[in-house]
């Protein structure tokens, strides 16, 4: 009670926190209980039968309204984690700062979260000098939980048992208009969590939503707030941008607002070179097409493509200065990755893959003797070959090289031998004996 009183007195203004509840019935929305996963539906029914509120929340509701297939179904409730764990078998508590429940069901895991509230101005809430929340772990009400969410499109609650859609901030209306709107004052909300800058870019690109005019200036002005964000969290958000199915649009928006300087600063130099821009555009388009076709994508491969123009340029420059082929290539790799580490380091699990793909590229030029046969046995051959095809399609190498390797792979052993390029050996110069 004391906390709630302090929150009312010292908490943020009501204009930002409160919304007017609109309850949409089955005739007013397009959602159907059959679209909810059986596991999430079972969790919601169990909680409601025991006197608790429980709803499908967030991205799943948004995606269903857009006629998309949600990748998962999250549930929000007023039950505490301990109450949920006692009611639902096989559930387990995850997290320390703010506990959530994971409910495993066959091939999916339903994440169940207790409604979050507004932290009062006491030791349970803390912000840094930029206004970023550093500690915030207070349970709350449905209305408070809705107000805490970032965009109106993500603040919808669906009750599949009674087929009702609860909307505090006109999120359904914004989704219908394909408009991305922040709940509350954008500057304040971006300062609370600067990663929302990148989420705004991702949602706008992925969903095809126009940015609300109130977001434009903060997106331009607040990029420096990303600097103190933990590298692991920032890199995870970068991967979400690249694997959103709209990677090319995401990077275009990042550059438009200058946010790329805080995660991928080398893009500026690449855009001034038409060949490099064409290579990266081709890589991003191929990735988007694979994701839209529900095919797998390797983050390491895509990152290798994003940084290859920088590596290739430096590699050529080092060779022109007299460095041998492989030392020049490996030196170029390290120089480019070292420069990136000053802004946002690439984790070792990815930069190892990147180096392997880059290191294979000179070997595709060697089509004589046993070298092609040994390259076929390399565990990274397929990734290296796909990278070669990407280079070929963008004019980085001749198309003939990609065709040769395709033919060589598909041929039998005798035909492969006949395909080998004969090595031309330079005649050895004889030393003159001194008289």
Q: What pLDDT does residue 430 have?
A: 57
- 231 and 291 in a single domain? The answer is no
Q: Is residue 54 part of a domain?
A: yes
Q: Is residue 427 part of a domain?
A: no
- 71 and 211 in a single domain? The answer is no
- In the predicted model, is pLDDT for residue 6 greater than 60? no
Is pLDDT larger for residue 122 or for residue 414? 414
Q: Is residue 197 part of a domain?
A: yes
Q: What pLDDT does residue 425 have?
A: 57
Q: Strand pairing of 156-159 and 164-167?
A: antiparallel
- In the predicted model, is pLDDT for residue 354 greater than 80? yes
| pLDDT, tens only, 295-334 | 999 999 999 999 999 999 999 999 999 999 999 999 999 9
Q: Are 423 and 369 in contact (CB under 8 A)?
A: yes
Is pLDDT larger for residue 213 or for residue 118? 213
Residue 123 pLDDT level (bands cut at 50, 70, 90): very low
Please indicate whether residue 150 is annotated as part of the active site: yes
Q: What pLDDT does residue 424 have?
A: 60
Please indicate whether residue 74 is annotated as part of the active site: yes
Q: What pLDDT does residue 423 have?
A: 66
Q: What pLDDT does residue 5 have?
A: 43
- 16 and 113 in a single domain? The answer is yes
- 142 and 189 in a single domain? The answer is no
- In the predicted model, is pLDDT for residue 357 greater than 70? yes
- In the predicted model, is pLDDT for residue 210 greater than 70? yes
User: Which of these ranges, 187-201, 244-258, 263-277, 375-389, has the smallest mean pLDDT?
Assistant: 263-277
Q: Is residue 274 part of a domain?
A: no
For the chain, the average pLDDT equals 89
Q: What pLDDT does residue 17 have?
A: 40
The percent of residues in the chain predicted with pLDDT above 70, rounded, is 89
Q: What pLDDT does residue 106 have?
A: 83
Is pLDDT larger for residue 99 or for residue 63? 63
- 13 and 132 in a single domain? The answer is yes
- CATH number, domain containing residue 390: 1.10.3090.10
Q: What pLDDT does residue 135 have?
A: 52
- 382 and 308 in a single domain? The answer is yes
- 132 and 190 in a single domain? The answer is no
Dist CA 290 CA 165 (whole Å): 34
Residue 394 pLDDT level (bands cut at 50, 70, 90): confident
Q: What pLDDT does residue 274 have?
A: 86
The percent of residues in the chain predicted with pLDDT above 90, rounded, is 79
- 174 and 189 in a single domain? The answer is no
Q: What pLDDT does residue 138 have?
A: 85
Q: Considering 145, 150, 159, 174, which one is annotated as catalytic? A: 150
- In the predicted model, is pLDDT for residue 122 greater than 50? no
Q: Which domain holds residue 61?
A: 1-182
- CATH number, domain containing residue 206: 1.10.110.30
Q: Is residue 357 part of a domain?
A: yes
- 11 and 160 in a single domain? The answer is yes
- 131 and 194 in a single domain? The answer is no
Q: What pLDDT does residue 322 have?
A: 96
User: Which of these ranges, 10-19, 122-131, 155-164, 358-367, has the smallest mean pLDDT?
Assistant: 10-19
- 254 and 141 in a single domain? The answer is no
- In the predicted model, is pLDDT for residue 95 greater than 90? no
Q: Considering 63, 74, 136, 174, which one is annotated as catalytic? A: 74
Is pLDDT larger for residue 173 or for residue 271? 173
- 311 and 409 in a single domain? The answer is yes
- CATH number, domain containing residue 128: 3.30.460.10
- The domain tally of the chain equals 3
């Amino acid at each position: 009670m004391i906390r709630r009183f302090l929150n009312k007195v010292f908490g943020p203004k009501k204009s930002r926190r409160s919304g007017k509840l609109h309850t949409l019935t089955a005739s007013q929305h397009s959602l159907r209980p059959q679209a909810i996963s059986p596991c999430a539906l079972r969790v919601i029914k169990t909680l409601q039968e025991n006197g608790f509120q429980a709803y499908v929340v967030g991205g799943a509701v948004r995606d269903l309204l857009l006629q998309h297939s949600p990748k998962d179904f999250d549930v929000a409730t007023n039950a505490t984690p301990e109450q949920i764990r006692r009611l639902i078998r096989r559930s387990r508590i995850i997290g320390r700062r703010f506990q959530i429940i994971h409910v495993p069901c066959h091939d999916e895991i339903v994440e169940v979260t207790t409604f979050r509230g507004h932290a009062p101005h006491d030791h349970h809430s803390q912000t840094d000098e930029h206004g970023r929340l550093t500690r915030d772990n207070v349970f709350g009400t449905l209305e408070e939980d809705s107000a805490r969410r970032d965009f109106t499109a993500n603040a919808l609650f669906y009750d599949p048992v009674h087929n009702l859609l609860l909307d505090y901030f006109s999120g359904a209306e914004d989704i219908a208009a394909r408009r991305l709107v922040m709940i509350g004052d954008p500057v304040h909300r971006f300062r609370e969590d600067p990663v929302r800058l990148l989420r705004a870019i991702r949602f706008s690109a992925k969903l095809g939503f126009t940015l609300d005019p109130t977001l434009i200036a903060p997106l331009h002005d607040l990029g420096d707030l990303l600097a103190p964000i933990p590298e692991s969290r920032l890199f995870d958000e970068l991967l979400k941008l690249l694997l959103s199915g709209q990677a090319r649009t995401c990077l275009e928006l990042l550059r438009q607002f200058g946010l790329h300087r805080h995660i991928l600063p080398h893009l500026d130099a690449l855009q001034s070179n038409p060949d490099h821009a064409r290579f990266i555009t081709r890589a991003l388009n191929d990735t988007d097409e694979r994701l839209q076709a529900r095919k797998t994508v390797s983050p390491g491969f895509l990152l290798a493509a994003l940084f290859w123009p920088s590596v290739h340029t430096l590699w050529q420059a080092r060779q022109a200065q007299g460095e041998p082929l492989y030392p020049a290539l490996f030196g170029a790799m390290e120089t480019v990755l070292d420069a990136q580490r000053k802004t946002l380091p690439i984790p070792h699990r990815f930069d190892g893959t990147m180096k392997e793909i880059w290191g294979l590229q000179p070997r595709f030029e060697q089509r004589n003797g046993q070298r092609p046969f040994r390259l076929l046995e390399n565990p990274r051959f397929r990734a290296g070959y796909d990278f070669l095809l990407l280079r070929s399609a963008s004019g980085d190498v001749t198309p003939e090289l990609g065709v040769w390797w395709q033919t060589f792979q598909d041929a039998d052993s005798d035909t492969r031998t006949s395909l080998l390029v004969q090595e031309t050996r330079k005649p050895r110069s004889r030393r003159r004996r001194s008289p």
